Structure 1
Amino acid sequence: MGKLGCNIDGNLDDTKFSQPMPWIGIYVAAASLVCLVAMAADAILGIRNRKFWFPCKFSSGNATSLTLLAVAIKLSVDLNTSMPRPQDQLAKLSSTVFICTVMGNSMPSLGTMENKEMFMNIMALGILVITVIVNICIQLTTGVIYVFWKEHAFIMFIMLLLLLIISFSSLTVPTTKQFLEHKYNKKYELALKEGSNETGKPVVDKLKEDVMKYWVMSHSSSPQFVMARSVTCTASGAFCLMSAATLAEAMLRSFFMPRSFKFCNGESEYKWSTTLVLVIQTLAVGVGTIAPACRWFFAINYGGQKRENQSSRKELKVEHYWVQSLVEMKECPLTLGIRNRHYRKLAHDAKKQFLNLCIRVQSGIVIMSKLICLISIFSVYPILLCHNYCTELKKKFKFMNGVSNTASASESEPCSKLDLSRFVLRLEGEDELVGMMMKCSHNPTDHWIREGDKKRPKYLIELLETSTRGFKGVGEFDNNQVPSLDSEEPPNCWALPVVTLASIAVALPNISPRFIRGLICSVNEGLMYVRLIENNLQNKGDLTNIRKAADVVWLGVELYHKWLDVDLHKLSLQGKSLKETLQKLADNAKNRLVEFHKEQNTQCLERSPSKWPIKVLAANSMYRIAQTMLLNSESRYDQMSEKLSEAIAVMISDILGACLTNIHRVVSMKCLSSAIEEREESVRYAVCILGKTEKILKLLEKKALPSLDPCQMICIDEWRTLYMQKKPLPFPSEGKIASSRSGDLCLTIK
């Protein structure tokens, strides 16, 4: 009977019910620790990227965060567990304050959510907050919470205000997104028009100017930044500060003025775990208040400067975008399917009255938030004056010490003097945002370009220096003289011939391992950008299998020196002649193709060549390229492995160079193609790509390019068609190979 929860007498044995409580406390502390780490990560990223409005990447108000929050506040909603000691009562209060901290910290994340997701998350948050408030009220009534009742009442009031602010602020998110998306498209067209008028400027300099414009546009229209700079988010930061100060006040009073409280004797069923929860949640409140406090401080700092300069006065005006969605909802008819006209009228009138109430509440929240900002400005005005005075002194000191370096700085950063004020996207009442962004001395694009330049592909650049004018190797690796094994050939992609040529180079006898290592490193770096171009500019579904074939082949070559099941390293050590090595590779590929075609004919299947299995596509590429080398070298490849390997490196360099002529289009596309929620990160990624490929773009600009339009330059088959229209280019002669040898074809490994 003991196993069933009863003792020998048949009465309920509740002595073991409290034994798991310390473990539950550890569970609560673990959930709080996860929230702490998430908020700390966002704070570190914000400081590192100098985004002092602190975007929410890890501590967003999504379903995962709300679930962790529900676990972390378990002590606040526990109705019947006794909490007699000071740390027990403080743990109750810290859990309540923790909710306010998470709400204020994650408010900018509303901008990243879709409408349905945002509605569901706010509903879940509302249910959680109401549940906590009801449970705390019950505990205040029953005496589970018997101290800090004023602090609990104040925190519950702040919690309700934060819930109202978040709920009604979310109503503006769809409106502001739509408005800023429209303005972004217009400014993007303006940037393109200005770029087209600038003729004769180097591609790299033009791209730098363009990405600076795109970054200003994407940053100022980022939904998270729009939410973070709003007056409601500023007010939520003030409320978070007040809640954290309330917890600090209660802790200081309990530790330094213990006689002012009458705590009960005894021990909680949570035992020592409440102390652990209190410590972790106090740290979480401290770390989580950094972001809201910084948003609040920077908002009032700029507001104080504006009032000091008397450029304009902050009016208690409710801009139209705050209530636009509610007004539109009020004007739309109901679709309830009510047939009776009288009831339809009642429903419509009730809807109008409810939305009128919502509009008044929304207006009240905005006015209250602006009042809080004004009060904050006046309350910290002496500190702001001192801060501004010190800043001006620092600027004057730097100016006096740095006059001699002005000319060099202007030459090194020509793009930083661009007038980008017209590209700042702002909402109604945000005219001061232009001045704020233009005053910012930190130029993120220059920083990201420098960071990208530190990670530039040095082996790829070394390989591209050997490419020929016009990238003739694009038309040389496969000619029309190779007999086809099928009536129709699959299309080409950029990556597959590159990895096939590299496979052949690895298999050649008597080749320096140093050269092979350098070639593999170069191709590995080049394929990163080839995939980037193919994934962004070539959306043809018929190339999917061919790209997969290239990835599969390269995985084997790079890691194991194997082409499918052929051990290339072993083949190179067998001591066979150059012609025998090429013939073996061609025969192995041909056998795969013949076997596939027999199977296809037996089963009466007709597949498009682009839909062939990936190993068959890889075999087809190997067969044609190996046969091309054999046909063009029938009498000249005795003891010329080194020259052939260098010629292969030139062809790989030409193919990669021709492909990378499209990299500037990827940079431009990344600045527009993504959704507004992800555009700022996309532009940043584009700037990093520009930094990594800046030297490559300058190198390729010196090469003679064929007369192809931009759409044709994306496709390797268009390049090949152009070369095939002319007289077929022979395989590189000894003179050409010798000249390329003088171009430092030996790829070194540091």
Structure 2
Amino acid sequence: MGILGCDAHGVLNDAEFSKPMPSIGIYVAVASLICGLAMAADLIHGFRHRKFWFPCKFFSLNATSLTFIAVGIKLSVDLNTSMPSRQDQLSKLSSTVFICTVMGNSMPSLGVMDNNDLLMNLVALGILVITDVVNICIQLGTGAIYVFSEEHFVVVLLMLLMLMILCFSATTVPTTKRILEAKYKKKYDVAIKCPLVTERTVAKKIQQDLSKFWMMAHTSTPQFVMARSVTCTASGFFCLLSAITLGEAMVRSYFLRPRSLGFCNGDSDYKWTTSLILVCQATTVAIGTVAPAIRWFTAVNFRCPIRGKKYYRDEFRVESYWTQWLSEKKQRPLSLWILKNRRCRKIAHDTKHWILDVCIGTQYVIVFTSKIIRYISVFCVSRILVFCYFALRTSGTIAHGGDSETSGSNPSSRQDLATFVLHLEAEDELVDLMVRSNREATDLWIEKGRKKQPMNLIELLEATTPISKGFEGIAEFDSYKVASLSATGEPPNCWALPLVTLTSIAVALPDVKPSSLKKLLHAVEEALDYVNRFERVLDTGGESANLRKTAEVVWLGVDLYHKWFDVDLRKLSKQQKKPEEILRELVEIAKKEFSESWQMNLMMCMKHKPSHWPIKILAANSMYRICQTILLNYESRDLVTGEALLKKVETTISDIVSGCFCNVAQVISIKCLVTAVEVREESVRGAALHLGKTEKILEIVERRCLPELRCDQMKNIDEWRAFYKINSSECNNYNNSVSYDSKELRLTVE
């Protein structure tokens, strides 16, 4: 009996070593297929959102994708496994082409990375590519790859070229971000001073501003900037060539002269999984080549002479931003505190300058070569397009007249929007194309938002907003006449907590129709979704964060269980008591809860500001004050029934929600001015969707009389209460009191 791994004679038994190989083959096929599915998701996302430059949303260079790529190229780096058959040799080639497809597809994702991520991901990718190239060269020398040597040579060359393009294109990312950010700030000042058309309604004014902000945000998106660059166009062309090379090898080996290639008999240790790997990787290559090929063809098609435009004068000029980052690095001194010798420091500095000079020269060669590739592509493809154009024109498929693209469009509006397109040097010819492709984007998103309007909230506001009504409920929900429960101060109010407390009171009221209560709960749920978003944006200092958290905790219990902490509100409503008695019982419950929580958290309450008190204390204080306020007005109003008091509560809720919605312009303007350029486009898109959802609400709010409050006061509910306390009878016209034009937006943000 031999020891483990050896036979009875002590000889190493390696027959068992190859048994796991089919499992490894399945692993490789699955990893390749996952990459293909991610690329397909990006492709679908691009077509669905009409972004034919195909941003990398699902597949980009990161630690996860690099891990799958490393697994996917397992066969091309396998040095000693016998791969005799046709599918074995083809799977080695497909693994090599696979990495070319990955590089061509993920190039736009460089734009969203910071400098550290760029460096780490490109170093990791470089290690993978160099390892793959070296192993392929070894296999070509040893005979492990004995067919398709020409194809492997072409693909290896393309792989190295694409790696160089990827690395040197990454050096422009910090520069282009800085240039476009500076242009954004200048264009923003222009946008807020120059309205496209004078509109009377708040929604239309905001929509005009959004169209300008969208054009600025979209055209400065780092992924879009990288995708429309000349190096990305060249990378797409090389990616297409690598896919064609794989296709040529497969056609030649399966259909033309398969026997003449001299494939050997036998199976590899991977068994049948090499065929599975070939199918998965060929599918991934086919899917992953579509986006880079469309980027290349779009650039070529736009510059074809058939379009009536010629750009030969500056076609081969290398713009300054390509080498600006490298030039800046060259000017900066090295930090060589370790080297004490002056001569060593001089040699280090000279070496750095020489390396950067080589890099700058290489960058010039890469950009110049990319422009030559684009020019040759234009020259060749234009002949085909000219032939197709005249063939279609002769057959009458297309008209002989003017440009159909501009028919039905507004040239003056398009020209105005063109001033807000942010572009780099030598991209002037792309301005009109970017305007035509994106000028209606905000309209589409606003229309999508209109399909998701909060109907329950709209119904509540419609029913409780007579013409020329003000916002009296904001002043009346919490009276200054109510005595404070604490001697150390009174916590401030936020927009959400009074809504939740008033709804809790409504649930506890007796003799209320279940349908009315159900509608109110749905309306408040929709309102809180917007109110919480508004407060998160407007509360830049975080002062009301704990109050918002209190509102969320209380609402969770009210919405799901009809409970205010441990108090069953529905049980209260069924006690056959008058509304006044229910309110007094809630007052006593709130006082008890406040007292118990205060004693338990005395040191904390004395140490922190009232806004930072524990959740139960803030909730109890709100419940006590609002119930006491209602009781103060109970005798003077016709509130003897639960339904009557419910109507009063609904009116107060409507006033508070409407007052909060007066901040829509401020919220949207802030969302459009997110400092991170990587998320600015998404933020503006969200603002447009938000405007579509709240457009009807803005129309309802516009009917009200708004007090003369500055925008910085309007975002704080206590400022409204203070104003109404001083000027209880003052009510000015809404449209004249507060302007939501571009100038007001700028003042808000500043």
With the length of structure 1 as denominator, give the TM-score of the two structures. Answer: 0.92
Q: Find the counterpart in structure 1 of residue 59 from structure 2.
A: 59
Which residue is equivalent to 2:97?
97
For the Cα contact (< 8 Å) 1:467–1:657, is it kept in 2?
no
1:409-434 alpha-carbon deviations (Å, 9 max, x no partner) = 97xxx996562111111111111011
CA distance in 1, matches of 2:604, 2:659: 40
Between stretches 104-113 and 335-344, larger displacement belongs to 335-344
Q: CA deviation at 1:223?
A: 0.9
Which structure 1 segments of 5+ residues have no match? 730-750
More moved, 298-307 vs 629-638: 629-638
Number of equivalenced pairs: 722
Residues 382 and 575 from structure 1, CA distance in 2 versus in 1: closer, same or farther, beyond 3 angstroms? Answer: farther
CA change 1:415–1:597 in 2 (3 A) is farther
**Match in the other structure for 1:353:** 354
* Residue 84 of structure 1: aligned partner: 84
Could you report, residue by residue, the CA deviation over 1:557-591 in whole angstroms, capped at 9, with x for unpaired residues?
22222221122223223333212222222222211
Q: Give the one of 440, 443, 459 matched to 1:443.
A: 440
1:471-514 CA distance string (max 9 Å, x none): 11011111122221102111111000001111111121221121
Query: Could you say if the C-alpha distance between residues 330 and 201 of structure 1 is closer, same or farther in structure 2, counting changes exceeding 3 Å?
Result: same
Residues 42, 56 of structure 1: 8 Å contact kept = yes
Q: Call closer, same or farther: CA 1:615–1:12 in 2, change over 3 Å.
A: farther
Q: Does 1:244 align with 2:239?
A: no
Note if contact 2:83-2:89 (Cα within 8 Å) is conserved in structure 1: yes
State the 1:240 CA deviation: 0.5
Partners of 1:4 and 1:572 in 2: CA distance: 78
User: Is the contact between residue 232 and residue 369 of structure 1 (CA under 8 Å) also seen in structure 2?
Assistant: yes
Confirm or deny: 8 A CA contact 1:307 1:313 kept in the other structure.
no
State the one-letter code of the partner of 1:255. Answer: Y
Local SS of the residue matching 1:424: coil
Report the Cα distance in structure 2 between the residues aligned to 1:402 and 1:26, rounded to whole angstroms: 50
Q: Specify the alignment match of 2:738 in structure 1.
A: none
| Identical columns (%) | 55
User: Residue 420 of structure 1 aligns with which residue?
Assistant: 417
The secondary structure found in structure 1 opposite 2:558 is helix
Q: CA deviation at 1:5?
A: 2.5
Q: TM-score, normalised by structure 2?
A: 0.92
- Amino acid of the structure 1 residue aligned with 2:225: V
- Secondary structure of the residue aligned to 1:6 is coil
Structure-2 separation of matches of 1:30 and 1:311: 46
The CA distance in 2 between the partners of 1:263 and 1:499, in whole Å, is: 76
Which of 429, 433, 436 lines up with 2:430 in the alignment? 433
Alpha-carbon separation, structure 1, partners of 2:522 and 2:355: 66
Structure 1 pair 384–657 and aligned structure 2 pair: CA distance change class (3 A) = same
Q: Which residue of 2 aligns with 1:480?
A: 480
Amino acid at match of 1:267: D
Q: Which residue of 2 aligns with 1:467?
A: 465
Amino acid paired to 1:709: R
**Structure 1 stretch displaced more, 112-121 or 563-572:** 563-572
The Cα shift of 1:164 comes to 0.3
| 1:251-650 equivalent positions in 2, closer than 5 A | 251-256=250-255, 257-305=257-305, 308-310=308-310, 313-337=313-337, 338-385=339-386, 396=399, 419-440=416-437, 443-465=440-462, 466-467=464-465, 469-487=469-487, 488-601=489-602, 606-634=607-635, 639-650=640-651
Deviation (angstroms), 1:51: 0.5
Distance in 2 between residues matched to 1:401 and 1:385, nearest whole Å? 18
Equivalence map 1:110-121=2 (5 Å): 110-121=110-121
- CA deviation digits over 1:210-262, x for unaligned, max 9? 11111111111111111101110000000000000011111111111211211
> Structure 1 residues 274 and 2, CA, compared in 2 at 3 Å: closer, same or farther?
farther
1:34 correspondence with 2:34: yes
**Aligned with 2:304: secondary structure?**
helix
How far apart are 1:391 and its partner, in Å?
A: 9.3
Aligned CA-pair RMSD: 2.6
Summarize the Cα distance change of 1:399–1:716 in structure 2 as closer, same or farther, 3 Å threshold: farther
Which residue identity does 2:722 align to in structure 1?
T
Mapped contact 1:31–1:72 kept (Cα < 8 A): yes
Q: Distance in 2 between matches of 1:698 and 1:397?
A: 47
| Cα distance in 1, alignment partners of residues 68 and 263 from structure 2 | 31
Distance 1:166 1:314, change over 3 A: same
Q: 1:429 to 1:417 in 2, by over 3 A?
A: closer
Contact conserved, 1:209 with 1:415, CA < 8 A, in 2?
no
SS at match of 1:4: coil
Task: Mark the CA change 1:52 to 1:26 in structure 2 (over 3 Å): closer, same or farther.
Answer: same
Give the equivalent residue in structure 1 for 2:659. 658
One-letter amino acid matched to 1:237: G
Moved more, 496-505 or 346-355: 346-355
1:60 match: secondary structure = coil
Deviation of the 1:713 alpha carbon = 0.2
- Shift of the 198–447 alpha-carbon distance from structure 1 to 2, 3 Å rule, reads closer
Contact 1:208/1:415 (<8 A) preserved: no
Moved more, 346-355 or 127-136: 346-355
User: What's the offset of the Cα at 1:663?
Assistant: 1.0
* 1:298 Cα deviation after fit: 0.3
